[in-house]
Amino acid sequence: MCGRYTISKKQLAKGHRFATQYSNVVNDPNYNAAPSQSLPVITNQDKKHIQLFHWGLIPFWTKELKGARKPINARAETIIEKLSFRSLLKSKRCLVLADSFYEWKVTPQGKVPHRILLKNEELFTFAGLWDEWADKSTGEVLHTFSIITTEANELVHPIHDRMPVILTPEAEELWLNNDETPKELLDLLTPYPAEEMKAYPVSPLVNSPLNNSPELLNSLWSWSFN
């Protein structure tokens, strides 16, 4: 699964594909993005703007928020089988902006968090699904999302058996293209090439979403010698 990630860039290079929208929305870096937080996405219904949606999907047909299940992940292999996700694959897809994600490796000493990112350390996107839920009593509308996961690649597998679907720039365009068939969309949900990624252990401070500072990005080894 993917339960924590980062959007640590304060700004993007002028030539970056999201540079124009990014600085207007992502004002504060997030070093420990967690479920229920309001986080940046780009939807297939508004491809020109970055919007802030809550992480943890609330399907439109949910009657009561209290006690409602709010999945943060959707398994690529079973999207078609799940009522909560099947219709969203056809109509409500999004890009979830990130520049790394965290996973925990089980060791004899306990779970060790690792930061996983691209070797070039550039911003990338996860494939996501979104929905909107309206409170009938107040009229309030909540926009929420879930991150799609797939089997881990060779880099991530020693740490965890699942990883979020990371899209290439070319796949991003297809994921937001409303003319793609469900089969063509599902074909995009594959593990990102391991040779283009890197990973390293980080401090267990990342375990708590209350901790959110640049120090969380440091290697565990640098913490050990401070």
2 is catalytic: yes
100-128 in b/e form (b: 16+ CB < 10 A) is: bbbbbeeeeeeebbbbbbbeeeebbbbbb
- Which residue has 């699964």 as its token pair? 1
Question: Rounded CA gap, 144 and 123, in Å?
Answer: 21
Active site residue: 2, 94, 172, 180, which one?
A: 2
Among 77, 81, 94, 103, the active-site one is 103
Residue among 171, 4, 146 at smallest CA distance from 89: 146
Nearest to 204 by CA among 122, 100, 109, 73: 109
The three-state secondary structure class of 204 is helix
Q: Which residues are tagged catalytic?
A: 2, 103
